[in-house]
A and B are shown apart, each in its own frame.
Chain A
Amino acid sequence: MKKKLPPTVLIANRGEIATRIVHAAQKIGARAVVVVSAADVDSLAARIADEVVTIGGPAATDSYLIPEYVAQAALHCGADVVHPGYGFLSEQADLVRMLEDEGIAFAGPRAETMEAVGDKSSARRVAKEAGLPLAPARRVRNLHEAPALASEIGYPVLIKAVFGGGGRGIRLANSEQEVRNLVSQAATEAKAAFGNGALYLERYYSAARHVEVQIFGDGEGKAWIFGDRDCSVQRRHQKLVEECPAPGLTPEQREILHSTARSLVEHLKYRGAGTVEYLVDTESDAIIFLEVNARIQVEHPVTEEAYGIDLVAAQLRLALGIDPGLPTVEPTPSSSVIEIRVNAEDPDSGFSPKPGRVTEFRVPQGPGIRFDTHLYAGYDIPPYYDSLLGKLIVRGYNRQQAIESLLAAARNIKINGIPTTLSASEFVLSHKVFQAGGVPTTWFEKAWEEYLAGTDD
């Protein structure tokens, strides 16, 4: 591969991940160029980058979400590779193709891979081909058979329209009686809404954990599996706390998770970093494939800290055509790592986002403490984007140690001038149900509600 030296990395993102990628690019000896909107010219990423390109107006729809602007910026600065971070254009096949046409590499999967795993039905087909465990489902050919099919699957079941979408018309049934009562109106509604009354039943898991596997592929079929993460502490589907490894899995469960994720990487000849998400049912212990996230994820640092690797640098190196620098032997986690997301939201007023000026900012130091952030004292947090300020990641030789150190670090971090979600994180970390490990995704909202009502113990 002919490359001018040093190579140039264009970072097509903002916030803490842009900062993270600038550091990774500079670490591998590349020149880091960051794209910014007009509202981000003072961002930390812009301050530490080797060059800054202003691509558009403050709204993400006028800047970070326009693939043409990013590709133009890549041409503008002579980029060898574009790193999209997460969110924004990270899973946009259009951008990948646009860059390919210009001979610019993309630090992520191929466009075809993104499309293959991008929509639910196509992802389900690919997962089935690769042998991943799917939720039991049956097509309803005749409404009279529905109760019998439901008992085959096991309760509770979801009644869904075959041609439906966007979660519309889905019904939950807990018993044979409910299935009998709900199928005919579901069929009528599906016919009215989607022009076809065809239904299917799918097993529903009401108390499941969110467990995911970190994958990395060289694009030619070689797979690295960097263990599992638990991201079950969520509020409105937003993850608050993540950890690696996932606590309380049996060796058999772990084997299913890792081996099926591996076969997916091999099947897709997956390129770069990605995540395979699963549900782990706390009642039946069943493992169910959810989806593939074809990008680096917010919570990647817990895996990096547990395994002693640099996933972002590996992505960049692979995209530049050099060895990704990952272990050659089967990797194992050497410690327990937990991350809390610190958002500019006020937990005391329904987690409403509150941008403003950071007047003071200090992070405690010590072994195994890492804070991935875009904050600095005096920074005005712009109101246009998500509220993530940073991620506090703490390592311990076991889970208990990690929890204790993280709790102490969370209590001693100083972010003044704006409200943060740190108090909610402290609530989670000091809660004995969380400390026991393996909470389902429904746990936090219930526990927080009880805490606010003063009915927790």
Chain B
Amino acid sequence: MTILLRPFVIFFFMLPLSLSFAEEHSNGISVTGTGTVEAKPTIVEMTVSIRGDGALPEDAITKFNGKKRRVKKMVKKLNIKGLSVVEGGLALKNALGMKSIQAIFNGNGAKNINQFQLAIEENMTLRMTGIDKLTNEELINSLVKIIDARLDSGLKVGSTSNLAQLAQLGAGELVIFKITDIDKLKEQAFKKAIDNARKQAEQLAKLSGAKLGKVTSIKYLLPVVSKSKKKSPMESYLSMVLRMQMMGMGQMGQLQPEKPEDKSGNENSFSSPVLEEIPVSVSLNVTFAIE
């Protein structure tokens, strides 16, 4: 690089930095306000993994359709208020894919790698709404009824096809509690965050002898992700298997529509495997003018 060009390059890289410095040091007081609203979960969900596989593709279809129909029948028969079935995405797989991986691990080579057996999978969700209106006892009774019906129907809990769910929830957790009407809760949280910011800014203005003016800018801060917990051996194993699945082994086709990316990244923070009040938190960077 020639010596003549070097100042231009330095200028080019320093430009955004200087601009941001200028922005940070614009007129006014900038503070970060947080607002948290806690709400009782309103829905509870559990995933039922439906899988049909067989020596003949037709068998896989018959098994899959039969199981799906029986899940719907089971829900109808349970006659629990607010309980419904939400269909998930459909996946077509080679049922022998995972066996081939295991054979490779066992040192048996990849002799089964070309064998094929169709498996159709769908993760259906059993969703129960209006649980905030139930007492804990009523809710537990209903959940036990559902779990019992699942077991009676021979629907596996924590089967291999449920790895994704297991990895997310952790082994042993059967249900997930969620809150609805997040927009309304967020609105309340925003109000709290702005109030909090104003309070801080007023304190700073008072201390510096200035008078607080209008809000000149608001920046929505992404929530800080909590410390990553150390993975248990089971979770590590599951994530390893998931990684293999992602690498395409055993995966034939995925008909599941891609979910829109959750840019706020906090969808999961509005759910909990524990029945407790779920917090909805927001953070805002608010700049007030000084008069």
Do chains A and B stick together as partners? no
CB within 8 Å of A: which residues of B?
none
